[in-house]
Structure 1
Amino acid sequence: MTKTYEIPLEVLVCQPPSEAAIATLKLAKLPLSFEIERNPRDEAALLLTVAAEVEHALMVQYLYAAYSVRDDQTNHETRGRVQSLYQRLAQLAREEMGHLMTVQNLLHLIGAPLNFEREDSPFESKLYPFRFKLEPLSKQSLAKYITAERPAEQGEIDQKTWQRLLYIAKIARRANDGRPIQHVGAIYERLIELFGNPEEGLKDQDFQTDRIDLQGTWDDWGYDEGLGSNDKSESRRVYVDTFEGSHPTTLRKEAVKALEIIAEQGEGYGSTVDSHFERFFQLYKDFEKLKNEGVEFVWPVATNPSTTPPRPILGKRNLDDYIRAAFEERGYIANPRARNWGHLFNLRYRLLLAFLIHFLKITGRRYVSSGPDKGDRTPRGLLLLWAFDEMRHLKKIAQKMVRLPLKLYDGVTAGPPFQLPYTLDLPDLERDRWRVHLDVVKASLTLVEKALQDDGSPDQKDPFLEDLQRSDRGRASILEALAA
């Protein structure tokens, strides 16, 4: 899916642009256009929309890298070191999820549309720090993640470390098809200006004081892998912030604080924040050490796997057509068994996104607070529960797919395709939204029954599939009642 905006550049800023904004964005090497004037609220909505897509894309790519880490080490000490790679990558992906939810809350705050889209093409990436690519963990992929998350300037980084980072940036550029890596933090720097400056940025009337009930909270979506410990546990929280208050000044301060925390969690260095940049840099060092010891710890998963057959080249053809066809053929999951698991993964991914979006479009408590049904989950509470269920389902399916051959003949294994559905839009009427979820659940039930658990299938008695079918039958009954 290729996203098209009014002007297909990563950042569009208002006229007259502030000198600070120009300096920040030029430093990050982002393409700029000052040809049109935008209202500050419109610019903030655009940049938050871009930020949402960036966070979603980073989350998916970090998850794919995590799923590519093997879990079959026989040596106890080595197994612990390899498992640490997976755990740290998964935690980084969770934190990107927290950033994504906070950005949705900020969109609510200024009355802008939510956005859970992202690009899924390796060819178009003007909105992103680097070309979108689902790829196994490698020195090259880690170099891209480090360079995208690191500060744009040396600052307090010592000279020896900075020189190594510049060398890593060269590796990252080669891995990004020769294109320079852009810095994530520049988007947030500009947003901080827009939210923090009432004279040139957002006005008091741009803040909506009645949207708190639509927002996701840390209690709903947060996570802390080190809660109760003393090892920087606060910095490893999945940060999700909400914006509550009746006065624009309060909301403005809360929004700026949230944007600063997201930026610092990404690019911070030498502070109390255990930043993404610092953690990726450490992952890079640990990866190198394991490789130098001759440890095999990454599955040979495909790059950009897909369940969609390659498109035939018709009519007039050029070099780009042949390159695209080669990429599509290389990632196509030709093994029928793996492809069926890929279809199942895509259906569950669609459900997860739909549950997240639906949750942020309705209000209400998570549990019934009184009456004979006290303590039961409300519709909003069910969406929250089901979203976390789908996260666990995706992990199980991904762990299955990285072991299955991609094409049966080249030694490459399949990976989770993370393909977006034909639409992420939900209907306007509430009962129709539940029908959409019901349709996807029924599609999953049919796929498992007729393809994955067909007579003679090696997955016929798979315990995960049996549990999933039982769960989906119960969920379908609830959805039918909610859609009535």
Structure 2
Amino acid sequence: MKFPDIQWTAMEAPGNGLQPAAACGIPRVANAASPREDAIGLLRLAAEIEHALMVQYLYAAQSLRDSDARTLSTVAVQEMGHLLTVQNLLLAIAGVNEHGYPAVIHFGRDTLRRASNLNPLPLTLESLSRTTLGNFVAIESPGKFDNPAVAERVETLRLKAGRLGYTTRPVHNLYAAIHWLFLADDEVQPVLADIGTCTPGWHLAEEDFVDPATIDRFAATQTEWHSIPGFIAMPVRNRAEALAAIDAITLQGEGVTGSEDSHFARYIRLLDRLEAGAVRVRPLARTPHLPGTVIPEDPSARPVTHPITVLWAELFNLQYECLLVLIAWSYSKPQGSPTRAKAIDFAVDLMNQVIQPLANDLSSRALDEQGPQKAGPPYGLRDETMPSDAASFAARFATLDRSERETLSRIKETLMQGDDPVARLRIDSIENYCQQRQQLLQEN
């Protein structure tokens, strides 16, 4: 199944003092021949945005401690749920390919989002600061404010970001455009009120939705992801469920009046604490990166050059890429199959037992040999495309396995030259995990 190349345009929407978000426009896919093509394009962009926000929040969390770190990491986990729900929305209208796999498994991050003139925030990995958190507040802000003081504060943050070279656009507008496409007609829903004029009559038809049996075969669910509190993974079998899923993502991000659990509300409270001097922050390198991964869009990105840190950063990137492929692989397996359940369990273990400890380790390792600057986890990707059949998944895992073995071998050589029992235990744990994963892959 071939989908059109995507170029991004914006339908400008009128704004008012209580709605700075509207001035950023309503996104559309240029040259989309149908609402279905438009929806698939915007959902692919949404997947990349959710992915990019997730790693930016996780990186900022590395610079914090205790409850403040948990605030950011909790939001990041919820962004992962949004990413999975977007896959369900794609499945509902794109269906399966000739190999019987979901036709669009999109866990990318830097292709469409980076090229879009509606990218909410360029991918910049930074320690938490008033600027960083102000950017997070601006992009998670609602489409409409009931409180003029809050609207003014958000607009001030957005203008300040612009003066510092950041361009921030609220995610709300993208989901408002997606919501419009999934409506049956032009009746304006509350979530779209005051957002501006969308293309009349431009909606998905009933025949654009895939057979529910196919959706039930592959759709991600919250239960299989261990029922993580606040984790949204909503199957989408029809128009009503699609609209409910889109609204759930939007409301968890921007919230409603009086909401205490939305991303926007959490970040406003954290910003209050930061401005009051109640948040301790440790400085990490800005957007650390390694050769061989996608060149950062952040012009102030810092290369990781310390010879030991480079090896651990390479290992981190491999585990991060492996996580994405593993989740995609689980999504390609039918619901209820032992393989799918085991793959999800492995993914959860990889996040908690491998990636998070490596992120902690890199946050205390030197960026280079010149000074005290700490590195931080680079979240670098060599290849963000996802396989589309059994053979390509097998080949991708084989490539990752070879690279893992080579990097682990090089790290073990450095450990032979010194005494680092914690690092030795970490390597033993990672090797054990990799062996178990390989056994699972060989069995399936």
If the length of structure 2 is used for normalisation, what is the TM-score? 0.83
Following superposition of structure 1 onto structure 2, how do residues 55-454 of structure 1 map, counting pairs within 5 Å?
55-69=50-64, 82-111=65-94, 113-119=104-110, 126-154=117-145, 156-157=146-147, 159-175=148-164, 177=165, 179=167, 181-198=168-185, 200-209=202-211, 210-221=214-225, 223-225=227-229, 237-244=230-237, 251-272=238-259, 274-290=261-277, 297-308=280-291, 327=300, 331-366=302-337, 378-392=338-352, 393-426=354-387, 428=389, 430=390, 432-454=392-414
Conserved in 2, the CA contact under 8 Å of 1:149 and 1:266?
Answer: yes
**Cα 1:262–1:222, aligned 2, differ >3 Å: closer, same or farther?**
farther
- Identify unmatched segments of 5+ residues in structure 2: 95-102, 186-200
Letter in 2 for 1:398: A
- Among candidates 461, 469, 482, match of residue 431 of structure 2: 469
CA deviation digits over 1:68-114, x for unaligned, max 9?
22xxxxxxxxxxxx411100100000111011000000000001622
Looking at structure 2, the residues matched to 466 and 37 of structure 1 have their Cα atoms a distance apart, in angstroms, of 51
Looking at structure 2, the residues matched to 444 and 106 of structure 1 have their Cα atoms a distance apart, in angstroms, of 33
Looking at structure 2, the residues matched to 204 and 480 of structure 1 have their Cα atoms a distance apart, in angstroms, of 41
Looking at structure 2, the residues matched to 202 and 306 of structure 1 have their Cα atoms a distance apart, in angstroms, of 41
Looking at structure 2, the residues matched to 341 and 152 of structure 1 have their Cα atoms a distance apart, in angstroms, of 42
- Identify unmatched segments of 5+ residues in structure 1: 70-81, 226-236, 245-250, 312-320, 367-377
Deviation at 1:132, TM superposition (A): 1.3
Letter in 1 for 2:363: V
Q: Find out whether 1:456 has 2:417 as its counterpart.
A: yes
Larger radius of gyration: 1
CA RMSD of aligned residues (A): 3.2
Alignment coverage as a number of residue pairs: 410
Looking at structure 2, the residues matched to 471 and 35 of structure 1 have their Cα atoms a distance apart, in angstroms, of 44
Structure with bigger RCO (C-alpha 8 Å, 6+ apart): 2
Looking at structure 1, the residues matched to 104 and 437 of structure 2 have their Cα atoms a distance apart, in angstroms, of 29
Conserved in 2, the CA contact under 8 Å of 1:216 and 1:242?
Answer: yes
Looking at structure 1, the residues matched to 172 and 88 of structure 2 have their Cα atoms a distance apart, in angstroms, of 19
Looking at structure 2, the residues matched to 413 and 458 of structure 1 have their Cα atoms a distance apart, in angstroms, of 21
**Which 10-residue stretch deviates more, 457-466 or 110-119?**
457-466
Letter in 1 for 2:158: A
Any idea what SS the aligned residue of 2:288 has? coil
Looking at structure 2, the residues matched to 459 and 174 of structure 1 have their Cα atoms a distance apart, in angstroms, of 46
Deviation at 1:115, TM superposition (A): 1.1
Any idea what SS the aligned residue of 1:107 has? helix
**Cα 1:223–1:338, aligned 2, differ >3 Å: closer, same or farther?**
farther
Looking at structure 1, the residues matched to 149 and 426 of structure 2 have their Cα atoms a distance apart, in angstroms, of 49
Any idea what SS the aligned residue of 1:394 has? helix
Any idea what SS the aligned residue of 1:9 has? strand
Looking at structure 2, the residues matched to 28 and 173 of structure 1 have their Cα atoms a distance apart, in angstroms, of 14
